[in-house]
Amino acid sequence: MNTIMNRSLALLAASAALCGSVAPAARPLPVTENFTIDVTWVGNDGDWTATGGTSWSGGPWDNNGDLSAVFVNSPAGIVTLQDDITAVDLTFKLDGYVIDAAGANELTLKGVVNVDDGTGANIIGIISAPITGSAGLVKTGPDTLVLQDATSTFTGTLSVAEGALVLVDATVPSTNALFVGEDAFFSSSSDDLTIAGVQGAATAEVNIEGAVLTLNLTNVTSYQGDISGNGSVVKTGSGRQRFLNQEKSYTGTTTVNGGRLEITENSILTGTSAITISNASGTDSELLLITDVPSFSFMFGPSSPVTTITLSDDGRLAADNDAILSLTNPVVIASTGGRIYSRATGILTLAGTLTGSGNLRKQGAGTLVLAGDASGYTGLFRAVIGLTVIPNGTTLGNGSSGVRVEEEGSLGGDGVIAGNLEFRDGSSAIFGAGETLTVNGTVTLRANSTVVFSGPVGTVIQSANPIQVQSGVTLIGATVSGNTIVIP
């Protein structure tokens, strides 16, 4: 701030010089910058009042004076707000200062909070008073700021531009977004926290030790850094939170209760113990896997114990457009059902086990390959849109339910369907060379439906029971012969 003062004095001097010159048309130099004045706390404990006071050097405090407070003098003390205080900046240059509040008094900040003693000693500045105002909270300087109040009402972005910001028994308004800059650190220190999304640099770190971090947003935001600690992450709201660039190492659970959580191949959740995608809120909850690397294999969590992905209330697991990827984690379909999307020309391969009792809908124009053990799945599998492939060696279901191929859905492969198989109007079947799909239940071509088969000549479906062709069926590209469907 001394630099600002010097610049201000220089401008005033230049203005005076112009006014005193011979040229009659000369006018004062216009001042277009807003300047603040630093006043310095003299040290020790004391009261901070809206005006006056004897604890300052550089002038008395005045809430209306666009003043910035500097805490540098020894000994450090507890500075107590006896009134509502308005300041531009706060600067901590000595370890041990605490800004507290008497009663319901609040601190309004217009600028930044800088913590830096200039020596690299990593001092700590503490604010225990509630913070208000519309300028957000911007932490600068390489050292650490600790917030200890749970009643702050400030609006705007919570920004850790430099150094560290730690919340201890504190929260911030849930409508505020979090930004963490290069090599900066943020921690909620065992306190649950709800924010309007997180963004930041690849070298940033957000620590959620023992806490639940809820990302409740309606827009689109991206975060490149690490999320560490043994806490959990919950995504809510209709917006999209993108995790990019770096693996996220937190070891708690991951829950998508609203909107979309997007994960790229280099931002995998390497520590998470469980993933749940639930659409109970009705906001199209989705976990979206994104990669430009052909045949990339996603694996979430540690190798042991294996992290399970659960779909419930029509929660959605999806692969991005044109992505060709596999997922090795076990997938469980809860009784309330789930959806799997493979979009455009993408191919999503489930290489892990598929279990559960809920209905599962395959959607999206891309391909889903059920390559893992799906014999423990007891729900109804609905091939609604796009191609579903049951490859050789895979058994889908255990006989208690079955597979339904619907209007825009296709089925193929040479695996086994343990239950029944039904084709509805507009559905199709696509087979490769030498592929025959075995059905242990009954195959039904539903009444008044048109079903299209394609592939090389030969038997493409072998059923344990006679094929049921209901009235009004149009079968294109194949014929029914007893227990088989044959492409002639």
358 pLDDT band (50/70/90 cuts)? very high
Radius of gyration of the chain (CA): 32
The CA-based diameter of the chain, rounded to the nearest angstrom, is 112
Confidence (pLDDT) at 77: 98
282 pLDDT band (50/70/90 cuts)? confident
SS (H, E, C) the chain: CHHHHHHHHHHHHHHHHHHCCCCCCCCCCCCCCCCCEEEEECCCCEEECCEECCCEECCCEECCCCEEEEECCCCCCEEEECCCEEECCEEECCCCCEEEECCCCCEEECCEEEECCCCCCCCEEEECCCEECCCCEEEECCCEEEECCCCCCCCCCEEECCCEEEECCCCCCCCCCEEECCCCEEECCCCCEEECCEEECCCCEEECCCCEEEEECCCEEEECCEEECCCEEEEECCCEEEECCCCECCCCCEEECCCEEEEECCCCECCCCEEEEECCCCCCCEEEEECCCCCEEECCCCCCCCCEEEEECCEEEEECCCCEEEECCCEEECCCCEEEEECCCCEEEECCCEEECCCEEEECCCEEEECCCECCECCCEEEEEEEEECCCCCEECCCCCEEEEEEEEEEECCCEECCEEEECCCCEEECCCCCCEEECCCEEECCCCEEEEECCCEEEEEECCCCEECCCCEEECCEEECCEEEEC
- Does the pLDDT of residue 301 top 60, yes or no? yes
Confidence (pLDDT) at 293: 95
User: How far is 248 from 195, CA to CA, in rounded Å?
Assistant: 18
Mean per-residue pLDDT, 41-46? 97
Express each pLDDT in 57-93 by its tens digit.
Answer: 998 999 999 999 999 999 999 999 999 999 999 999 9
User: How far is 411 from 383, CA to CA, in rounded Å?
Assistant: 7
Burial class (CB in 10 A: 0-12, 13-18, 19+), 482: exposed
- Does the pLDDT of residue 98 top 70, yes or no? yes
In the chain, the amino acid numbered 49 is T
Express each pLDDT in 102-119 by its tens digit.
Answer: 999 999 999 999 999 999
Q: Which residue has the higher pLDDT, 42 or 189?
A: 42
- Does the pLDDT of residue 263 top 80, yes or no? yes
- Does the pLDDT of residue 283 top 90, yes or no? no
User: How far is 422 from 297, CA to CA, in rounded Å?
Assistant: 32
Mean per-residue pLDDT, 415-424? 98
**Of 183, 171, 220, 182, nearest to 198 (Cα)?**
220
Burial class (CB in 10 A: 0-12, 13-18, 19+), 266: middle
CB of 220 closer than 8 Å to CB of 200: no
Confidence (pLDDT) at 36: 84
Using a pLDDT cut of 90, give the percent of the chain over it. Answer: 90
In the chain, the amino acid numbered 215 is L
Least confident of 82-96, 132-146, 239-253, 389-403: 389-403
Q: Which residues of 368-397 are buried (b: 16+ CB within 10 A; e: fewer)?
A: bbbbbbbbebbbbbbbbbbbbbbeeebbbb
Confidence (pLDDT) at 149: 95
* Planar angle of CA 424, 343, 452, nearest 5 degrees: 30
Confidence (pLDDT) at 9: 29
30 pLDDT band (50/70/90 cuts)? very low
User: How far is 405 from 323, CA to CA, in rounded Å?
Assistant: 24
Using a pLDDT cut of 70, give the percent of the chain over it. Answer: 93
- Does the pLDDT of residue 4 top 50, yes or no? no
Residue 255 Ramachandran class (φ > 0 left, ψ -120 to 50 alpha, else beta): beta
Number of Cβ within a 10 Å radius of residue 94: 18
CB of 72 closer than 8 Å to CB of 126: no
* Planar angle of CA 382, 355, 234, nearest 5 degrees: 95
190 pLDDT band (50/70/90 cuts)? confident
437 bridge partner residues: 461
31 pLDDT band (50/70/90 cuts)? very low
Please tell me the pTM assigned to this model.
Answer: 0.90
Q: Which residue has the higher pLDDT, 1 or 159?
A: 159
